Structure 1
Amino acid sequence: MEQINKTTVKEFVLLAFSNLQKFQILLFIIILQMYIISIAGNLAVITLVKTGTSLHSPMYFFISVFAALEISFVSVTIPKLLANLIAAGNKISFINCFAQLYAFNALGVTECYMLAVMAFDRDLAINHPLRYSAIITTTVCTALAIFPFTISFIIALIPTVFTADLLYCGPNAINHFFCDLAPVQNLACSDPLISNLVTSIAAVFASLTPFILILGFYTHIIITIAKIKSIEGKNKAFSTCSSHLTVACLFYTSVIIVYIKPKGSHYDKFLALMYTIVIPFLNPFIYTLRNKDVKDAFQKLNIFKLRIF
């Protein structure tokens, strides 16, 4: 029996944006500022919802859970990217790589399902306003918040296990700024066909399924809003869900493009910046600063002084 001498990879090298050497410092400054604002903004959202009595409602409860999720999500990848940009910290051990891969995908899938839960909440509020309080109780809110974490950590585990089971004997350079399924699978010495197939199937349940649910909920919402005769009534109804719809569209568009066909193109890492840092950075502004209730809560707590244009 022929013996093949192969060296198992002990660590990976994250290439990140090494091809943009002249812009490394600029990228570091921009991403660091966005990261700090993202953390601070989402912490402010959580604080407001917790302390502002006017925000003690299911909608803001889900927004606060989503804000906490965003903090965890960005912290899985961005600190390592910043170290890579400024201090050439581009190496990551095999175990840490797959730990990052699993945490990133599990939290990312959780965001997908949490956005679907938030769309479901808005659908109930607009289509069943009289029964809404009786349906969305504290117990139901808690269950709906836990559900995305439970299903997502299970879904993310399957492709992670299949990917980790592949043979890695070199090369070990990942053309990305974090360990993700497709870039890692492309480095395998063994055939990644099954792993790629499992990843694609998991992506259907991870991102496409909740996306279809969101489309269904918002179709129902739009039909209901269209039946409202008052312009003021239409604007009020739509204002409660327009921000969420904006974030959902941005997030799902980039995620579906990257993950439904996980072939690991050169542009995946640029698309990944959209949902790993840009959307978490925008989230506090999109969800809160255009909301009258949140502005009032800010003013009462003297956290920020907002000018209303």
Structure 2
Amino acid sequence: MRNDSISGKSVFVTGADGFIGSHLVELLVACGARVRAMTYYNSWNEKGWLRDVPEQTLSSVELFSGDIRDTERVRQGVRGCEYVFHLSSLIAIPYSYDAPRSYVETNVIGATNVLQACRESDTLTRLVHVSTSEVYGSAQQVPIPESHPLVGQSPYSASKIAADKMAESYHLSFGLPVVTARPFNTYGPRQTARAVIPTIASQLLAGRQTLRLGALSPTRDFNFVTDTAAGMLALALTKAAEGEVVNIGSGEEWSIAHTVELLCEIVGSQVEIISDEARIRPEKSEVNRLLADNRKIADLTGWHSELSFRDGLTRTVNWIDRNIAYFDVDDYAK
């Protein structure tokens, strides 16, 4: 399916002010879509990471502030749109141990609001509900297929499993044209220091002689953010994906330790690594391996990752270097 088939279509994106959402908005505008971008309302009129989007691109976007937990506001956002991408989510895993109810309210109730609004819509062509590879827990088979058991190893992953099951129920019960996209570990420009790659890169760029990190042995399927966004668009434009759960991943596996080595090479730095207990998950909650079986998305859409890991890391490092003020590097040393 050609991306230009979405040209002129009305599209609603929740979580548009986030890391992946802002890149998806850029892609949709580049493909000619008419985008309504939902941002989380705040009294400072902050646009989140949409502030990093070129003004020439953003000028054609309808900014739509609100709260995903607000049923009526979500209904207003969906109204009149042909495609909906639901990315709005509370994502930081460590915080989910402290505030699990917040994850239920945002991730489960918020998703239900989107599903119901889409069910009531008379213009909807397709909804892409965005999940996460965290729902699989530690891999029981590698690479991880979409049929892998779902394991709630954190309150965050449990909330996403619940949201995925709500999406499944709306397809089976009401025939809603929804596809559940499960991206693996997306990285790239605009990702905050809650994630391991910007944590490492920002400390290296700040000239730190030591790195404070969590576990180094876990492996991840890192996928550059523009590739992830392209995968979501490909699924939106594929009717055969309706009712399906589909992984979006590179199909390559990198340990945190190896990732540190690559980043050190790119930055040109050598450091000592210190274990930070605050960054280590509870023992039974650690996900040790994440590697996508990406054959399904390739078969359905022809999509595959285009950017190599090293090239993606280089682009990420360059962006962080230009935006180092966003990273509280001094806080890592505490």
| Superposed pair shares fold, TM > 0.5 | no
Higher normalized contact order (CA 8 Å, seq sep 6+, divided by chain length): 1
User: Shorter-normalised TM-score: what interval?
Assistant: under 0.3
TM-score, length-normalised on structure 1?
A: 0.25
Largest Rg, 1 or 2: 1
Higher helix share: 1
Higher strand share: 2
